[in-house]
Amino acid sequence: MNRVPREGEEPGDRELIRRAQAGSAEALSELVLRYQARVVAWAAGVVRSADDARDVAQEVFLRVFRSLPGYRGESEFSTWIWRITFNLSLNWRERVLGRFVPLGEAAEAALPDPGPSPEELLATARRAEAVRAAVLRLPAHFQVVIVLHYFRGLGYEQVAAALRLPVNTVKTHLSRAKARLRRELARAE
């Protein structure tokens, strides 16, 4: 029987989690690949630096690795990993920026923006899920170039080599895929 994934759950997450809990390094690796871009984006929203967000993401996946045996699936995996990311990002900020000491109104006004609120983070996560859902509705040849270029971070030449396509074809597919995504997302709003 094909079970329909719950909202916020990637298709196949449950099976990957079960296999990872049983010790499958391959399943754990696939979970990391599925969530890596999101974890970095979530962390960047709190720590405000792409380099630091990648460092936090490494900590997140170490924590996931250590905690996965205790994950019982009471919440979606994406919610669980988001919570770990958010907590570790806040811990990182505290370690790097030091403990909060009230400075007075004038000094506080001069401080940089502390980052997005939990509501803004949730809105960002919802937008990311809307984009992910829209990407899944694209034809397969558009999906694959979007995923490889934007989610896996491959350049045009790398995508072309991986798909055995000319670079200009990859650029055309990306351009057309982005246009379709814009239309899809505009319709969804």
Share of the chain above pLDDT 90, in %: 15
- 152 φ, ψ (degrees, to nearest 5): -100, -10
Arch. (CATH architecture) of 116-189? Orthogonal Bundle (1.10)
The residues of the chain that CATH labels 1.10.1740.10 are: 10-99
Distance CA 159, CA 167 (A): 8
HEC readout, 77-136: HHHHHHHHHHHHHHHHHHHHHCCCCCCCHHHHHHCCCCCCCHHHHHHHHHHHHHHHHHHH
The CA–CA distances, whole Å, from 162 to 26, 34, 117, 177 equal 21, 19, 39, 18
Does residue 5 register a pLDDT over 50?
Answer: no
State the Rg of the chain over Cα: 19
What pLDDT, on the 0 to 100 scale, is given for residue 115? 63
Distance CA 141, CA 55 (A): 33
Does residue 75 register a pLDDT over 80?
Answer: no
Q: What is the tens place of the pLDDT at every residue in 81-128?
A: 888 888 888 888 777 766 544 444 544 454 455 566 667 777 777 888
Distance CA 36, CA 80 (A): 14
Q: Could you tell me if residue 29 is left (phi over 0), alpha (psi between -120 and 50 degrees) or otherwise beta?
A: alpha
What pLDDT, on the 0 to 100 scale, is given for residue 114? 57
The residues of the chain that CATH labels 1.10.10.10 are: 116-189
What pLDDT, on the 0 to 100 scale, is given for residue 107? 45
Please give the CATH topology (third level) of the domain spanning 10-99.
Rna Polymerase Sigma Factor; Chain: A (1.10.1740)
Residue 10: pLDDT band (50, 70, 90) is: low
